Amino acid sequence: MHPGEVMRYALLAFMAAVLLTTGRTACEASSSKELIEEAHLFDGAHVVYAGEVIGEVLRRGDHAWLNIHDGTNAIGVWVGQELLKDVTFTGGYKTQGDIVHVHGIFHRACPEHGGALDIHAQDLLVVEPGRLAEERLDNRKIFALLVSLGVLVCLLILRIFLMRRKRS
Amino acid sequence: MILKPQSLDIRIILHFLGKIVLGFGVMMVLPVAISLVFGETAPVIDFAIGLVIAISVGIFFILMARLDEHVEMSWMHGMVVVSLGWLVCMVLGAVPFFLSGHWASFLDACFESMSGLATTGLTLAQDLDHLSHAANFWRHLLMFLGGQGIVVVALSFLVKGGPGAFRMYVGEGRDEKILPNVVETAKFIWLVSLVYFGLGTLLLALCGYFSVGLSLREAVFHGACIFMAAFDTGGFSPQSQGVIYYQSPLFELCTIVVMVWGAINFNLHYAIWNGKRKELWRDLETRTFLITLSCVTLLAAAALVKGRVYGDLIGLGRRGLYQIISAHTTTGFSTIYPQQFMLEWKSLALLGIILAMGMGASICSTTGGIKMMRIGLIGKAFREDIKRFLISDSSVVSTKFHHLKDLFLDDKMVRSAALMTIAYVLVYLFGTAMACFAGYPVLESLFESTSAAGNVGLSCGITQATMPAFLKVVYIVQMWAGRLEFISILVLGGFFVSCIRGK
C-alpha cells in the first residue's frame, strides 16, 4: 500500500475514534464559517478543518503557524514542526497550496496566543499536494494593449502637431 | 440667477483634470516594476493597459482643453477638478484590478479603487491570497497616493504654485498649509511620507522576518504594503486575514506605532522635524485624541471584560484595544474576524468602536471621520458656554487653545466645526438608512456606514461581493465624500446644476 494511502486510512480511523470519544466533534470537516460564527459551541472541542495552506509557513521555534483557507476564510493553525514535513506548497499567485486536513483543538479566544481564534493541530494530513500554477497570457489583453498603445501614439502625434502649428 | 459655466471654465477644468490623471497614470509604472521583480508576467500586461489608458485619457483632456496660456483657477474650478479628478482616478485605477480577474465586476473594482484612494480599506477582492504581488502592491499604493492626496501628487510635479493650486489643495480636504507656498507644502508632504516609508518599511520588514517568520523577500514586500496601509490609515492588507495572518504581538505593536504616527497632523510632523517636540503634547488635537481614545477604550474594555469576551489582559489588548486604536485612527486593521464584532462584542463595546470610527483623528493628516480638531473646538465651546453661566454677567469669557500657536476660540471656528460634524453625522445616517433598506439590521448598518464614510475600513461582514450593487455605489459615494470632506462634492453638484439650469 502507498504510504499516502496508509496515512489517509490512519486519519479516517483517527477521526472515527475522535467521533466516538467526544460528543461535540463532527466527522466531516467543520467550515471556517461554522467555526467563526459558532465559536462558543466549538470552543475547546476537537475539530477537523480542511483547506488550502496559504501565504507562508510562519515558523516559531519548534512550532509554526499555518494559515488554512477553506474557500471562505482562513484560520490560523498552530502546528508542531514534526507535522510540517509533508507540507511543500503554500498558496500564492504562482502556486496552489497543499490541501490539508487538520485535526486539533479549536479555541475561540486562545489563552496561549493572546485571544486568537485558532486551532492547535494534533494531526495534519496533506490530502492533495499543491502545485505550481501556470500563468497564461490572454491574447485579448495583448490586443487591447496594442489598440490602446495605438490610440496613445495618435494622441501624442496630434499633440505635437498642434504645438508645432501654434509655434508657426 | 445661476450662471451657466463658460467654455473657458470647462477648458480650465479639463486642463487640470488632465494633469492630475497624467500624474496618477504614471504611478502605474511602480506595479509594473513589482511584477518584474517577482517574475509575474500577466500583471505586466494588466498594468501596461491601465497605464496607457490613463496617460491617453490625461493627454486627451489636455488636448480638449487647448489651454496654452496660463489661466488662474477660481474656487469653483479647483473644487470641481478635485472632485472629478478623484472619480476619474477611481475608474482608471480600477482597470488593472478588473483585468486581474479577482474582482467580480467593474463596479467591484471601482469600489476597491475608491476604497484605496480614500484610505478606507473595505475590500471586495476575491481570492486575495492568490492575487499577484503587483496588484496587491497597487492596492496599497492607491492608499499611499490617496492618503497624501492625488492632487498633492500633481501639485508636486505638474502644476505651478499659486492661488489656483491652493484651491485644489483645499478641495482635497486639507484645511492647512504647512509652508507658505502650497507646492512646497505638497513637496514637504511627500518628503515626510517617503522618509517615513523607508524607515517604516525597514521596521516592519525586520519584524516580519525575525518575529513573524516571513521569508526575506516577502518580509520586505509585506513591510512596504503594511506600512502604506498603516501610515495612510488605510487598512488594506496583502492577505485575506488582514493582520491576523501574521499571528505576532510584536508585529501588531509595530502597526499600532505606525497607525498612530500616521494619524498625526502633518503640521505637527513639520514641528517635530524642526525639533519642536513639545508641540505634539500641547496641541489641542493630540489632547483631544488622548481624551477620546481613553473614553472609547474604557467603554469597550468595560463591555468586553463584563462579557468575558477575552480571558486575560493580553487578549483584551490584542483583540480589544487594537480594534479601538485602529478604528480611532481610521485605519481599519483588525485582529479579529468581521463576524466576531456582532457575534461576540457586546453592544457597549460596539458603541465605543462606532464612536471611535466616527470621530477619526487629525485634520491635515490621512485620517477620515469628523476629526479631533472639530471635536476639540466643540468641546471648548461647550465649556465656554457653561463658564458664561457660572460667572458674573459683566465678565468677558474668552477661551484659548493651542494648535501650532496660541489661538482664541471664536464663533466662526465653532460654527464651521459644528457644520462639518453635522454633515458627517448625516452621511453616517444616510448610509445606515440605505443598508437598512437593503435588509441589514440597524446596528450592522450603522457600523458599516460609519466605517465607509469615516474612511475606516473595519467591517462587520456587510461588505462582500454579494451585497446589493446600489449599496456598493452608496459606500463608494460615502468614501469619496468622507475623504474630500463634502465641500468640493457639493460644488461639483452645483456645477452640474448650473450647466443644466444656468443662463
In chain B, how many H helices and how many E strands? 23, 2
The residue with cell 499600532 is: B256
Query: What residues have CB less than 8 Å from B72, skipping those under 6 apart?
Result: B162, B163, B164
Query: What residues have CB less than 8 Å from B163, skipping those under 6 apart?
Result: B72, B73
The pLDDT score that the predictor gives to residue A134 is 86
Do A141 and B99 lie within an 8 Å CB cutoff?
A: yes
* pLDDT of B92 above 80: yes
The pLDDT score that the predictor gives to residue B326 is 96
Give chain B positions within 8 Å (CB) of A69. Answer: 129, 240
The pLDDT score that the predictor gives to residue A3 is 55
Q: What is the b/e burial string over B295-330, where b = at least 16 CB atoms within 10 angstroms of the residue's CB?
A: ebbebbbebbeeeebbeeeebbbbbbbbbbbbbbbb
Helices (H), B158-181: 163-171
**Minimum distance, in Å, between the CA of residue B220 and any CA atom of chain A:** 14
What residues pair up with A52 in beta bridges, in sequence order? A69, A99
Best residue of B51, B97, B133, B241 to probe chain A, by most A CBs closer than 10 Å: B241
The pLDDT score that the predictor gives to residue A155 is 95
Q: Which of B164-178, B289-303, B404-418 has the lowest mean pLDDT?
A: B164-178
Residues B183-242: tens digit of each pLDDT: 788 888 888 889 999 999 999 999 999 999 999 999 999 999 999 999 999 999 999 999
Residue B402 CA, distance from chain mean position: 25
Say if A109 is an interface residue toward chain B (CB within 8 Å): yes
Give chain A positions within 8 Å (CB) of B213. Answer: 56-60, 64-65
Residues A105-163: tens digit of each pLDDT: 999 999 999 999 999 999 999 999 999 998 888 899 999 999 999 999 999 999 899 88
Of A92, A109, A158, the CB nearest to B310: A109
Q: What is the b/e burial string over B81-106, where b = at least 16 CB atoms within 10 angstroms of the residue's CB?
A: bbbbbbbbbbbbbbbbbbbbebbeee
Kindly write down the DSSP assignment for every residue of chain A, as one continuous string. --HHHHHHHHHHHHHHHHHHH-TT--SSPBPHHHHHHTHHHHTT-EEEEEEEEEEEEEEETTEEEEEEE-SS-EEEEEEEGGG-TT----BSSSEEPPEEEEEEEEEEEETTTTTEEEEEEEEEEEEE--EEPPP---HHHHHHHHHHHHHHHHHHHHHHHHHHHHH-
Cβ-defined contacts of B103-108 (< 8 Å, 24+): B103/B465, B104/B465, B107/B469, B107/B472, B107/B473, B108/B465, B108/B472
Do A93 and B215 lie within an 8 Å CB cutoff?
A: no
Which amino acid is it at A15? M
Confidence (pTM):
0.92
* pLDDT of B334 above 70: yes
Do B213 and A59 lie within an 8 Å CB cutoff?
A: yes
Do A55 and B315 lie within an 8 Å CB cutoff?
A: no
DSSP strand E in B295-409: where? 400-403, 405-408
Of B68, B318, B343, the CB nearest to A114: B318
Residues 418-457 of B with CB under 8 A from A: none
Nearest to B447 by CA among B329, B365, B363, B327: B327
Best residue of A79, A152, A160 to probe chain B, by most B CBs closer than 10 Å: A152
Q: State whether residue B400 is helix, strand or coil.
A: strand
Of B39, B99, B340, the CB nearest to A36: B340
Higher pLDDT, B381 or B190: B381
Structure-block grid coordinates of residue B327: 478604528
Query: What residues have CB less than 8 Å from A35, skipping those under 6 apart?
Result: A42, A47, A49, A75, A106, A117
The pLDDT score that the predictor gives to residue A19 is 46
Of A36, A57, A69, the CB nearest to B337: A36
Give chain A positions within 8 Å (CB) of B62. Answer: 159
Residues recorded for chain B: 503
Do B45 and A137 lie within an 8 Å CB cutoff?
A: yes
The pLDDT score that the predictor gives to residue B170 is 73
**Rounded to the nearest 5°, which phi and psi values hold at B188?**
-65, -45
Residues A63-108: tens digit of each pLDDT: 999 999 999 999 999 999 999 999 999 999 999 999 999 999 999 9
The pLDDT score that the predictor gives to residue A1 is 52
What residues pair up with A66 in beta bridges, in sequence order? A77
Query: What residues have CB less than 8 Å from B23, skipping those under 6 apart?
Result: B150, B153, B154, B157, B158
**Rounded to the nearest 5°, which phi and psi values hold at A135?**
-90, 125
Structure-block grid coordinates of residue A121: 493541530
Mean pLDDT across A14-31 = 56
Residues 144-173 of B with CB under 8 A from A: none
The pLDDT score that the predictor gives to residue B7 is 86
* pLDDT of A6 above 90: no
Best residue of B98, B245, B250, B459 to probe chain A, by most A CBs closer than 10 Å: B245
Residues A33-73: tens digit of each pLDDT: 999 999 999 999 999 999 999 999 999 999 999 999 999 99
Of B63, B129, B244, the CB nearest to A54: B129
